[in-house]
Amino acid sequence: MKKAIVFVFFYGILLLIAFLYRESLLEWLNRGDMTQLPLMFLLGVFFGVVPVVPFSVFAGLMGAKYGVWIGACINWVGSVGASAIFFMLSRHFFVTRFQSYISRFNGIRKFDRIISQNAFIAVLFSRIVPIVPPPVVNIYSGLSMMPFKTYLAATMIGKIPGMVAYAYLGSQLVAPRSSLLAGITLYAGFLTFVLLLYRWWYKSKAKVVLPK
């Protein structure tokens, strides 16, 4: 209980400071150069945990600042790092509170069934396509019996397309409109393919579990 109180207090202080100085923080991010690259990796994790600046905004800025591949690496490290932190918090610190939080989501039972069939595939698909809100995936995975290495491996792989997409869209903000539209179309097509693949996989598993 004491650990939880200390963490909540510390988290609240960080959130308040970041909110009060959010405009200066965004301006500073825009002025960054390669010498600040290590700090950007840390900020990626920070904004993934404390979303005073939406992570999508930060991810786009990284793409605009450093290009697609370096920006995507920063986004990936930040998103995976934040996901791992939430997993640990839900497993070791805020079990009761997080159980109350995820119980409000109607799709959690479906996600639970998918995890029971294949935990790796469940997390992997939910990372690529937002079948379940990411915070719910992080917390529920920590509350489940899923091994951390399974969760981390699926998260690391599943986060790659989205983080590259954020960086690409950010890098194309000053590019010709046709290039931006082409990237959006390609990513939308990829998501559609993955979603259809997921639906096929889920239906095939449902037939095995509940044969007619």
Domain spans, the chain: 53-207
Q: How many CB atoms lie within 10 A of CB 135?
A: 17
Q: Tell me, what's the pLDDT at 188? A: 77
pLDDT in the model for residue 170: 79
**Cβ of 133: how many Cβ atoms within 10 Å?**
14
pLDDT given for residue 1 in this prediction: 46
Tell me the three state secondary structure of residue 184: helix
Q: Are 129 and 198 in contact (CB under 8 A)?
A: yes
Q: Does position 79 have pLDDT exceeding 90, yes or no?
A: yes
Most confident of 54-58, 73-77, 127-131: 73-77
Contact (CB, 8 A) for 124 and 154 = yes
Residue 82 predicted with pLDDT over 70 = yes
The pLDDT, as a whole number, for residue 212 is: 43
Average pLDDT (116-134) is 82
Rounded-to-integer distance, Cα 112 and Cα 128, Å = 18
pLDDT tens column, 178-199: 566 776 777 777 778 777 776 7
Burial 55-92 (b: 16+ CB within 10 A, else e): beebbbbbbbbbebebbbbbbbbbbbbbbbebbebbbe
Tokens at 103, concatenated = 């119980």
Under 8 Å between Cβ of 137 and 126: yes
- What pLDDT digit, counting tens, does each position of 54-67 carry? 788 788 888 878 88
Residue 209 neighbours by CB under 8 Å, 6+ apart: 117
Lowest mean per-residue pLDDT among 7-11, 24-28, 75-79, 121-125? 7-11
pLDDT at 154: 93
Q: What is the pLDDT of residues 148-177, one digit of tens each?
A: 999 999 999 999 998 998 888 877 765 666
* pLDDT tier, 88 (very low <50, low <70, confident <90, very high otherwise): very high
pTM over 0.85: no
Largest CA distance in the chain: 62
pLDDT of residue 76: 96
Q: Pull the structure tokens for residue 74.
A: 């920063």
Residue 133 CA neighbour count, 13 Å, CB half: 11
- The tokens describing 71, both together, are 């920006």
Structure tokens at 176: 């010709």
User: Between residues 167 and 32, which one has the greater pLDDT?
Assistant: 167
Report the distance separating Cα 109 and Cα 86, nearest Å. 20
Tell me what pLDDT residue 53 has. 72
Report the pLDDT value the prediction gives residue 211, as an integer from 0 to 100. Answer: 45
Asked if 123 and 75 count as a contact pair (C-beta separation under 8 A), the reply is no
Cα 163–Cα 121–Cα 205 angle in degrees, nearest 5: 140
